[in-house]
Amino acid sequence: MRYREFGATGVEVSALGFGCMRLPVIDGNGDNIDDEKAIALVRHAIDNGVNYLDTAYFYHGGNSESFVGKVIKDGYRNLVYLATKLPLGEINCEEDVERIFNTQLERLGVDSIDFYLLHAVNNDSWDNKVVKFDVLSKLEKFKEQGKIKHIGFSFHDDLWVFKKVIDAYDGFEFCQIQFNYIDTDYQAGIEGLEYAASKGMGIFVMEPLKGGILAGKMPDEVEQVFRNANPNKSNADWALEWVLNNRNVTCILSGMN
């Protein structure tokens, strides 16, 4: 496993992180995680060097965080960094922030969360949730108490909104954006990635395979370039390597199953 430094923190995260959103399920029910298969799967990844687990309040119908809490028992908590996210759509008053955060600690069975993100930030949720309910000051309080180690955000909106969010708060240490060889100009895109990196932020990339699409048929012009370079690599291998080839990317997240 390769590891990359997370900014100036001294933390080293695996170049490949495990996204706990597409786990094996029972009878096709996305809310019903197959614990036996999924725990074996995630622990196999950890045993082979993956040290970053990414979950969220709503993944698998709200069951992913509790599942991750099971994964990290038996000594596995000391082997990984945990990341989860504050569901901004559920914030309707200031008190909701602490209530939800405490629920997440309970689900995960931990006293602290290593990487805590504002989930799916867009222009509306930034103005009408984060700013309106003074969310970041509450996360700062949790950080002072040792309940959060690093504060960041995941993002789904236009580039100008991405820059607005970064410029509005200098306490962000990292961000999570969609990025792959097809989506270079989508949402934050390459310009946003470079902008965040210029601020010293860690860059965590979601959808490096575009939800699995890039593991399938490549666009013809892309396939020609990749096959000429190395005909033996898989499509998924090429897509992941392409993202990791950017020196500003800290970690790529894949929802493996």
Residues designated catalytic: 59
What would the 3-class secondary structure string for the chain be? CCEEECCCCCCEEECEEEECCCCCEECCEEEEECHHHHHHHHHHHHHCCCCEEECCCCHHHHCHHHHHHHHCCCCHHHHCEEEEEECHHHCCCCHHHHHHHHHHHHHHCCCCEEEEEEEEECHHHHHHHHHCCCHHHHHHHHHHCCCEEEEEEEECCCHHHHHHHHHHCCCCCEEEEECCCCCCCCCCHHHHHHHHHHCCCEEEEECCCCCCHHHCCCCHHHHHHHHHHCCCCCHHHHHHHHHHCCCCCCEEEECCC
